[in-house]
Amino acid sequence: ASMEALSLSPPMSPPVILTQDELKKIAAYKAVEFVESGMVLGLGTGSTAKHAVDRIGELLRQGKLSNIVGIPTSKKTQEQAVSLGIPLSDLDNYPTIDLAIDGADEVDPHLNLVKGRGGSLLREKMVEGACKKFVCIVDESKLVKHLGGSGLALPVEIVPFCWKFTANKLQKLFQGSDCVAKLRNDGEGKPFVTDNGNYIVDLYLKKEMGDLQVASDAILRIAGVVEHGMFLDMATTVIVAGELGITIKDK
Ligand code: 5RP
């Protein structure tokens, strides 16, 4: 892995305190520097990816980019891209994508990710799995030593049919990590429904889950599970924006 550190402010200048959203924007704008005219682009979902999509729209409007095709990873991103005039298509028409830019909830030292706290993990995994290059953009708060270790959840998309049965199977699978499986709600007392009409179970783990590939395979073997939010060995580059500057980590 190679690393490049870019300082945001000249040495000796007073420290600039940036908000988390400003850091997200800095990472997003840096990632858009990888975009070239004529590319097929995977457009991510979430508050970080939103900045990248805005920036792509702006460069198109200014004529600094042309001939772009966007493949959105959610209905929300699709709406945003349409409002910006970004031409869109899908994986059926473009099974190979040049570059995807998307955020993450956790990034480990091997550039494995947890995604899906925004609920779009299935389409994100389909699109990002079809990319030649996947640039993940985060602020430094997303860096973890071990996935699932930040006290936040590992999201799993499941079919609504007998969701308790599937949630119980997931909880049992990770009982060694003191797992609690919770159905995600929409904030109004109803289950959160994904763009694909499915539910999300959030797995709260108190201990590390061990080998990630083994855990991934075991989750996917449960009938009723559609996909999970671990993105193993998928990001080719991670751009991290922090108070001290931008770090670019490559596979
Ligand atoms: C959505 C995602 C997002 O990329 C992830 O939740 C990060 O979101 P944000 O950029 O808002 O912090 O995986 O499914």
Between the CA of 11 and the centroid of ligand 1 the distance, in Å, is 32
| pLDDT tens per residue across all 251 residues of the chain | 556 666 666 666 767 789 999 999 999 999 999 999 999 999 999 999 999 999 999 999 999 999 999 999 999 999 999 999 999 999 999 999 999 999 999 999 999 999 999 999 999 999 999 999 999 999 999 999 999 866 779 999 999 999 999 999 999 999 988 899 999 999 999 999 999 999 999 999 988 888 999 999 999 999 999 999 999 999 999 999 999 999 999 98
Q: What is the secondary structure of 192-226 as a DSSP string?
A: ---TTS-EEEEEE-SS--S-HHHHHHHHHTSTTEE
Question: Cα 109 to chain center, whole Å?
Answer: 16
CA angle 103, 61, 40 (to 5 degrees): 50
Nearest atom, ligand 1, residue 44 CA? 4
Q: Which residues are catalytic?
A: 124
How do strand 97-102 and strand 131-139 relate by DSSP bridges? parallel
Give me the pLDDT at residue 9, please. 60
ipTM of the complex: 0.98
Of 134, 112, 105, 101, which Cα lies nearest the Cα of 202?
Answer: 105
CA distances from 133 to 34, 127, 234 (A): 10, 11, 9
Of 69, 75, 138, which Cα lies nearest the Cα of 102?
Answer: 138
CA separation for the pair 69, 60 (Å, rounded): 11
Backbone angles phi, psi at 43, to 5 degrees: -105, 115
Backbone dihedral region for residue 185 (phi beyond 0: left; psi -120 to 50: alpha; all else: beta): beta
Tokens standing for residue 4: 């490049």
Q: Give the mutation target among 43, 48, 128, 238 for probing the ligand 1 site: most ligand atoms within 8 A of CB.
A: 48
Between the CA of 104 and the centroid of ligand 1 the distance, in Å, is 5
Between the CA of 46 and the centroid of ligand 1 the distance, in Å, is 4
Of 140, 142, 156, which Cα lies nearest the Cα of 205?
Answer: 156
Give me the pLDDT at residue 198, please. 98
Using a 6 Å CB cutoff, which residues line ligand 1? 44-49, 102-105, 115-121, 124
Q: Give the mutation target among 22, 29, 47, 152 for probing the ligand 1 site: most ligand atoms within 8 A of CB.
A: 47
CA separation for the pair 5, 190 (Å, rounded): 44
The strand pairing partners of 182, in sequence order, are 202
Q: Give the mutation target among 105, 127, 147, 198 for probing the ligand 1 site: most ligand atoms within 8 A of CB.
A: 105
Nearest CA to ligand 1 atom 14: 116
How do strand 131-139 and strand 237-242 relate by DSSP bridges? parallel
Alpha helix (H) ranges present in the chain? 20-32, 47-61, 75-83, 121-128, 163-173, 212-220
Tokens standing for residue 65: 């980019």
The strand pairing partners of 191, in sequence order, are 185
Give me the pLDDT at residue 140, please. 96
Give me the pLDDT at residue 10, please. 61
Nearest CA to ligand 1 atom 4: 103
